[in-house]
Structure 1
Amino acid sequence: MECQVEGNQLKILFVCSAREWGGNEKWSSMTMSELQKQGHTVSMLLRNPFLAKRFGRTLPWTFAPFITPFDPLSFLIAFFLLLVKRPNVIVSTKKAEYFVLGILSRIFRIRHILRLGIVRDLDTPWKRFVYTRLNEGIIVNASRTKENFEQYDFVDQSKIKLIYNGIPEITAPKAVPRTDDRFRIVTVGTLTPRKGFHLLIEAIASLPEELSRQIHLTIVGAGLMKKELQKQIIDLHMEDRVSLAGFQSDPVPFLVDADLFALVSENEGISNALLEAMMLGLPVLTTLSGGTAEFMEDNVHGFLVDRDAFVIRRRLEELLTRRDSLQEVGKTGQSRVKEFFSLSRMGREVADFLEPRHG
């Protein structure tokens, strides 16, 4: 059943079991676009049909529910899809599909590549099986994620490929004239505890009143933590200082209107939202989680903090006293991102890694 490659062109099936749009989906969208530019054929197996338009109106896609990692219906749908499409490579982007597509890749003898955007500890026999036996390689986007695999003697390190995210040039719209001089902070992401939005709210609320009232925080995103964040905002009497903007297909207008982008994730590879903010020249406040330290120097390309509400508060106090100098840090960060994260380079490196290895 082995699928052969014709020339250098690949038939690639991307699999996405995400319920909603996030950084992984953004990466998949950009990567598929770059692969198509190179002449490769790309299709998708999706859990959420509503995401199809965001991936591209002309991109062929098929639905599978991925209710559990062992979902028999998803197995059958994927089986017949592989039988018809006969791709050369499968790229699985979420852990919910790793097992099903891993087993099917063994049956059809198709190269199976995982994309991993955060650190995963292989601390159970199940994880060791999925990550070492059911794929031909794993793409990671940060050195820290790659180094985490190096602690395991049973992992073939040649299968772990570090490919930094690529970020397209962003044309910024004109900012709307301001009606006040408040210090505007924006953060973007799925509303989950891992993203640390509750810590930002807590940090701002704990500032002295004369400083806290100078700030307005806008949280752009949707997710399961919405009600919890709403309650926190009310309990801390922060209704006039924190806004939940919900999901936005294009967060750029919020970024253009901001003085600072903040991301205090617990576990992150290299965040696309962070890179997009830096691409716009916006100064950023972020944690050392994931791969941030690989390209960002504190007080040069941005501002680094520990993931602790008190530490975040102290850093915000500092930034409020040096508002005039933040733009220079934003410009330096912008230059760094343009130098470090080329979209075309990412596309070439992914295509090279997807090529079936012979021998």
Structure 2
Amino acid sequence: MTQHNDVPPQILPRRIVQIVPSVEPGRGVEAVAYHLEQEWQRLGIETARFTLVEAHGRWLPDPGPGVVGKMTLAARVFWFTTVGSFMAARFLAHQPRGTVSVCHNDVLVGDVYVNHGIVAEAMRARGHSLLRMVRNPLHLFTWLRDALRYGLGLHQRVVNLTGVEDGILRRTYPRVRPPSVVIGNGVDTDRYQPDPEDRVAYRRRLGLAEDDAVAVFVGHEFGRKGLPVVLQAMDGEPHDILHLVVVGGTPDMITQAARDADLHGVGPRVHFVGEQLDPRPYLHLSDFMVFPSAYESYGLVVLEAMACGLPVVATRVGCVPEVIDDGVNGIVVEPSADSVREGIRRMLTADLSGMGIQARRAAEDHSWSRIAREYVGMFAAVLSEKAR
């Protein structure tokens, strides 16, 4: 594993091609590619994209909820992995000398592969991993595909988002051939920042008083990201004053989670707002975030919350060990109801304003400008090797 310092590069790529199903602002891998593209362009580097459109996959719809949505997602992954790999190789063959290609998803070509998560580790963290893998053919396909990716050395570099993830990668795929580096994700500190005005207005929309204690949970996969644990932790004193705003989830997931909240006797204090293109209003109205995830390759939502001035109660996953200083800008907990309950208790009695200031300062150290320059520093070595 190699580290690259944030220094001005000696060699700039002529062009950077990103390989990803789509590039767009918002959330997820697509947003990572978007922010990197914007920063590289500011450095004067030409950029290009190879997306599902270039792979002639425009006919594949966006995944929706339910079984049909899972089948659609599987079709997109399979298409971008197979047809996409073939067509991306042809696309890259026509790029000018001095081009560096960065693959974020599925496709099995590219100078650099960014590891945005290891499916086997996500299953292992939740328990009964073999059953979960067998039950979902897409998980098996992804595991086998990436075994080929890492074992055959299809890329010159692998980027892991944290040092912990680098270790997990080598434990899961012991025959990783490409050298790996650690470069985290960034956060848009201009877009994500404290906004006291939103706090009052959006609390009113949800029927919340200005002095209510409010936590926010943001995540689509309720089970893996720990919502059931949070609901259990809210059951009983001193948390009978806490409201929880839940951002994300499909209608089916929300229905089940609402039933669980009622079973724990906390239903009236849990407010489901569904999937949101912009989570900022719900971050702004909250006092802190609670995020006891079982596994994250990075957990960008933690940084987004901190950039909005929210301290975070979170488990030791993804970026948490690197950005949260326990008791200073957040609380680190274990993925159990008892531990999360204690973390919430500590947060409710803490100086939230002071912790929020420290959370914002920590987020400011992870700007996209800095992250983009770290990539460019690594590209210099890739270009030097390609020129040999």
Provide TM-score, normalisation by structure 2: 0.72
* Structure 2 unaligned blocks of 5 or more: 1-11, 63-71, 125-142, 204-208
Distance in 2, matches of 1:298 and 1:191, equals 25
Alignment correspondent of 2:223: 193
Partner of 2:236: 207
Structure 1 residue aligned with 2:151: 132
TM-superposed CA distance for 1:8, in Å, is 2.9
Partner Cα separation in structure 1 for residue 174 and residue 210 of structure 2: 57
In the other structure, the counterpart of 1:167 is 187
**Deviation per CA, 1:283-318, whole angstroms, max 9, x where unpaired?**
111111123112322112211000111211122223
**Contact 1:143 1:291 (8 Å CA) reproduced:** no
**Matched AA of 2:378:** F
CA-CA distance at 1:217 after TM superposition: 0.4
Counterpart contact for 1:216–1:242, Cα < 8 Å: yes
Note the alpha carbon deviations across 1:14-51, whole angstroms, 9 max, x for none.
22389xx7433332221222223332222241378888
Q: Determine whether 1:37 maps to 2:42.
A: yes
User: Does 1:343 find its partner at 2:368?
Assistant: yes
Question: Partner of 1:271 in structure 2?
Answer: 299
- State the Cα distance separating 1:353 from its structure 2 match: 3.3
**Range 33-42 or range 183-192, more displaced:** 33-42
Moved more, 183-192 or 171-180: 171-180
Counting only pairs closer than 5 Å after superposition, residues 66-215 of structure 1 correspond to structure 2 as 67=75, 70-71=78-79, 75-76=82-83, 79-80=86-87, 83=90, 86-87=94-95, 88-94=99-105, 97=106, 101-102=107-108, 105=109, 111-118=110-117, 127-133=146-152, 134-150=154-170, 154-156=175-177, 159-169=179-189, 170-173=192-195, 174-177=197-200, 179-204=209-234, 206-208=235-237, 211-215=238-242
**Residue type matched to 2:273 in 1?**
A
Deviation at residue 176 of structure 1 after TM alignment: 4.1
* Range 329-338 or range 38-47, more displaced: 38-47
Q: Which residue of 1 aligns with 2:326?
A: 298
1:70 Cα shift? Answer: 4.7
> Using the alignment, how far apart are the partners of 1:24 and 1:77 within structure 2?
17
Aligned to 2:309: 281
- Partners of 2:18 and 2:357 in 1: CA distance: 38
Tell me the distance in 2 between the aligned counterparts of 1:290 and 1:160. 17
Alignment partner of 2:345: what SS? helix
Task: Determine if contact 2:293/2:335 at 8 Å carries over to the other structure.
Answer: yes
Question: Where does residue 276 of structure 2 map in the other structure?
Answer: 248
With normalisation by structure 1, the TM-score equals 0.77
1:226 aligned to which of 251, 254, 258: 254
2:139 aligned partner: none
My pick for the range that moved more, 271-280 or 147-156, is 147-156
The answer (yes or no) to whether the contact 1:119–1:268 under 8 Å persists in 2 is: no
Letter in 2 for 1:201: L
1:61 is matched with which residue? none
8 Å contact from structure 1 (residues 65, 74) kept in 2? no
Contact 1:141 1:165 in 2 (8 A): yes
Separation of aligned partners in 2, 1:215 and 1:342: 32
Between the aligned partners of 2:305 and 2:155, the Cα distance in structure 1 is 34
Q: Tell me how far 1:270 sits from its aligned partner.
A: 2.7
Distance 1:159 1:290 in 2: 21
Structure 1 vs Structure 2: percent identity of aligned residues?
A: 22
- Give the C-alpha shift of residue 78 in structure 1: 5.4
Residue by residue over 1:107-130, the C-alpha shift from the partner in whole angstroms, topping out at 9 and shown as x without a partner, is: xxxx34221133566998764322
Greater shift, 274-283 or 122-131, is seen at: 122-131
State whether residues 20 and 33 of structure 2, in contact with CA within 8 Å, keep that contact through their aligned partners in structure 1: no
What is the total number of aligned residue pairs between the two structures? 321
Residue equivalent to 1:259: 287
Matched residue of 1:249: which SS? Answer: coil
1:115-170 per-position Cα deviation (integer Å, ceiling 9, x unaligned): 113356699876432223232221111110113345576334x6211112122223
Root-mean-square deviation (CA, aligned residues, Å) is 3.3
Q: Which residue of 2 aligns with 1:108?
A: none
Most deviating of 277-286 and 115-124:
115-124
Give the CA deviation at 1:181: 2.3
Separation in 2, partners of 1:118, 1:80: 24
1:76 and 1:189 map into 2 onto residues whose CA distance is 31
Match of 2:13 among 8, 26, 43: 8
Correspondence for 1:217: 244
CA distance in 2, matches of 1:120, 1:79: 24
Tell me which protein shows more helix as a share of its residues: 2
Partner of 2:33: 28
1:200-241 C-alpha deviation (Å, 9 max, x unpaired): 11111x223xx3331110111134733331321233343311
Higher relative contact order (CA 8 A, sep 6+): 2
Distance 1:80 1:120, change over 3 A: closer
Report the 3-state secondary structure (helix = DSSP H, G, I; strand = E; otherwise coil) of the residue aligned with 1:304.
Answer: strand
Q: Where does structure 1 lack aligned partners over 5 or more consecutive residues?
A: 1-6, 52-63, 106-110
